[in-house]
Every structure is written in C-alpha cells, then in structure tokens.
Amino acid sequence: MNRKKTVPLESTPLVIVPTYNEAENIDGIARRILDTVPEAHLLVVDDASPDGTGDLVEAMAASNDRVHLLRRAGKLGLGSAYVTGFRWGLERGYGYLIEMDADGSHPADRLPAMIQAVATAAPSEHVMLAIGSRWVRGGKVVDWPKRREFLSRGANTYARIMLGLSVHDITAGFRVYRADAIARMDLDSIDSKGYCFQIDMTLRVDALGGRIVEVPITFRDRIYGVSKMSQSIIVEAMLKVTQWGIERRLHLKRR
Ligand SMILES: Nc1nc2c(ncn2[C@@H]2O[C@H](COP(=O)(O)OP(=O)(O)O)[C@@H](O)[C@H]2O)c(=O)[nH]1
Ligand SMILES: [Mg+2]
C-alpha cells in the first residue's frame, strides 16, 4: 500500500529515533511519542537490525502517515544515523528536529516542554537547542548505580569546565533543535561518534551563537535490550573534550 503522507508544516516537529535491535521497545516508544505530541512525525532510522525492528516500523508506517522509516544497509553508528535523519527532515521542511532513543530512557512526556522551550523563546534570545537534562535541578536518573552516576556527572563537569559552556548534560541524547540551526551547519564535516556526537553538536550550536536551554527530565535505564555504548566511548569522548577545549582556548576553532 502506498499511502500519501501528510506534508509537514514549518512548525512540525520530527522526532528522529535511531534503532539497532530495539524490537522490544519500538512499538511502545512510538506510541508514546505520537500520543504525547499530536502534531509530531516520527522518523525511525534503522540499521538493518537483525531482530526485525525495521519490519515492525514498516508495518506501522503503512497504516500511519505520521510514521516514516529509513532503512540503512548495516550498523553505521548513532551519529551518522542522526545526520541522515537531519538531512531527511530538512529536505521535507520540518521546523524542529528531535533526537530521542528508542529504549525508553527518554520520557516522551517531557517533549512538549522541550519543544516549547525552543518554540516560544523570543527571536532575540536565539534559543536553538533544548536538552532533556539529567543534571540540572529537577532532573535525575532513577535506577543507575552510584558509580555510573558519578562517572556521567564527572564527565559532564569536566566537559563544562574544559569547553567553557554552561551546559550540565552535554552528553545527553534527548534534544530538540530548531531545524534552521541545523540547516546552517556543515553536516558533511560531522564524523563524531557516540557521546562525542552530542558534544560536537552542542559546540556547533554554540558556534552559531545559539542559546542552549536545559529542561529537567527523569532518565530511566532501559528495561529491554542492551546498551550499545561502552566505557571506551566515554574515554574517547573525554579525550576529544580535552582537545576541543585546548583548541577553543587557543582560539584555533570556535568549536
Ligand atoms: N541506527 C542506529 N541506531 C543505533 C546505533 N547504535 C545505537 N543506536 C540506537 O541509539 C539509541 C541509543 O543507544 P543505546 O545503546 O541505548 O545507548 P545508551 O543509551 O548510551 O546506552 C538506541 O535507540 C539505539 O538503538 C547504530 O549504529 N545505528
Ligand atoms: Mg539507551
């Protein structure tokens, strides 16, 4: 069946959810997104998940014209999945491009507040990004061991000081961007992976002169499936933060 999809308005949010083996999670998260933000569309970028996540989304997209699927040939990484999704959204004229995990860690019920934070700001404030943040007042993680919380808070504090940005959760992957901000970025030059991708994107917003606001969220660990992140990705991100921080201090680059 080839249903005609609705054309987005310039204020339509596009929630981009990258997936790799999220068959147990994708139906629930898709329903929560579509119910919570009635004007939003959902784009799933699936990297040929062996567990059939792509087929589940294809079935959803066939009967719901707010759901879209991009299938890629193999596991190409989270950062490149988002870049592919951003391009898709820009080509179709969406107003807000949103990053969100499939695993239920990011609460869909905070999406309206995050979208509002960007959409209702006065133009003179230049708010380009709202981060769903664990590490501002009112934000929290409910089910992490103390050691993991310490690691994430520590990495974020280090990044805040090193980069000279007043962002408390720079590694967060729950984000609402103004599409016109992403349109001004050179997406071809992004090759950061994992947490580096989120930090890189934050620096790019800052380089555009954009303000970044943090909206508190309650983050939950995934219940189903396994995390694709590892400790080595955190170490890699901190090395990159050190390099970027030094470059910024020496004014070699704005990012
Ligand atoms: N398309 C795609 N999605 C990915 C890839 N790696 C991770 N993801 C998805 O990105 C989101 C975040 O990954 P996750 O493993 O939960 O990372 P964590 O939350 O940092 O533990 C989830 O929706 C994953 O399914 C990838 O290589 N390609
Ligand atoms: Mg996760």
Domain range summary for the chain, segments of one domain joined by +: 13-254
For residue 1, the model assigns a pLDDT of: 44
User: Options 3.90.1580.10, 3.90.550.10, 3.40.50.720, 3.40.190.10; which CATH number does 13-254 get?
Assistant: 3.90.550.10
Helices (H), 184-228: 194-207
Please give the Cα distance from 95 to 180 (Å, whole number). Answer: 7
> In testing the pocket of ligand 1, which one of 151, 228, 234 has its CB within 8 Å of the most ligand atoms?
228
Residue nearest (by alpha carbon) to ligand 1 atom 21: 227
Per-residue pLDDT for the chain (255 aa), expressed as one digit of tens each?
445 566 667 799 999 999 999 999 999 999 999 999 999 999 999 999 999 999 999 999 999 999 999 999 999 999 999 999 999 999 999 999 999 999 999 999 999 999 999 999 999 999 999 999 999 999 999 988 898 899 899 999 999 999 999 999 999 999 999 999 999 999 999 988 888 999 999 999 999 999 999 999 999 998 888 877 777 888 889 999 999 999 998 886 655
Q: Are the beta carbons of 205 and 123 closer than 8 angstroms? A: no
